[in-house]
Homo-oligomer: A and B are copies of this chain.
Amino acid sequence: MAGKATNIPTATILRLSIYHRYLQSLMERGTKVVSSAQLANGTNVNAAQLRKDLSYFGRFGVRGVGYNVSKLLRQIKEILGLGKSWNMALIGAGNIGKALLQHKQFENHGYNFVLVFDKTPFRVGKEILPGIEVHHIDKLKELAATTPIDLAVIAVPASQAQEMADTIIEAGISGILNFAPARLKVPNHVALQHVDFTTLLDTLTYALSTKEKKGAYYNKKKEENRNTRWDSPQSWPDHMINYSNLLVTK
């Protein structure tokens, strides 16, 4: 486990998660060994980049052979902190919130909604899922004290989002996934990600628009240009993500 002291690119962490998912599918298919070229191809990244990404954390492969799928999977889990199960609180049990609660995949990945909050009277007190009651948002701090929460998911209207973030942080939670279309301000010790549908749609319309009226705001160059810049509508290179969301990833 070498582990470099170098700064790790943010995008590397995003990609690690993507490799992780692909490795899981390889596991299911029974693949034992995979080369950086195969793994990179399956996740749409450059093979050298994949190797460099891993090299920030250690040396996991065997030269001339490749990577042992289950071993690499275990090691990426370790790096990303996916060894344990993570308790999540949902803030806002509306359309999106309910879809998230229903999503079985989260549990499989160790993400569990253990508390759900809302404000609207007709939602509060209902049993939204077997064993999961909707609590009033005012009880967040109190309940978070007994049930330790690692992550909070914000799914309230944008106008309420910053206030909710503040409440969440005050309750001692320091990881937030925000679905509201608002860029939140949080102190440095809090990890935050935005899931921003409209912004992503806007990048698509930009791509399609520049495609049509080529030359208006942009000058067309080499058509064969790889998926990296906005010369032509294309896939996202990364970050993006964002980058990203970020964000933002091919």
Contact = CB atoms under 8 A, between A and B. Distances in A.
Contacts of A234: 188-192
B177 A204 contact: yes
A72 interface: no
A244 B14 contact: yes
Contacts of A11: 239-240, 242-244, 246, 248
Nearest to A219: B5
A249 B195 CA distance: 9
Interface stretch (A97-105, A120-128, A136-144): A97-105
A146 interface: no
Contact of A191 (B106, B208, B225, B240): B208
Given A177-B204, A208-B174, A229 B7 contact: yes
Copies in the complex: 2
Contacts of A194: 236, 249-250
A70 interface: no
* Most chain B CB neighbours (cut-off 10 Å) among A44, A190, A193: A193
Interface residues of A, number: 100
B204 A82 contact: no
Contacts of A204: 151, 175-177, 191-193
Contact of A207 (B3, B18, B191, B195): B191
A86 B202 CA distance: 10
A205 B175 contact: yes
B233 A243 contact: no
Interface stretch (A30-38, A60-68, A178-186): A178-186
B249 A205 contact: no
A50 B118 CA distance: 36
Contacts of A196: 18, 249
A249 B247 contact: yes
A199 B18 contact: yes
A244 B239 CA distance: 1
Interface of A: 3, 5, 7-8, 10-11, 13-14, 16-18, 20-22, 42-44, 57, 79-82, 86, 95-96, 98-100, 102-103, 105-106, 109, 111, 150-151, 174-177, 181, 183, 185-186, 188-211, 216-219, 223-250
6 contacts: A11-B246, A22-B183, A188-B232, A240-B242, A241-B244, A241-B248
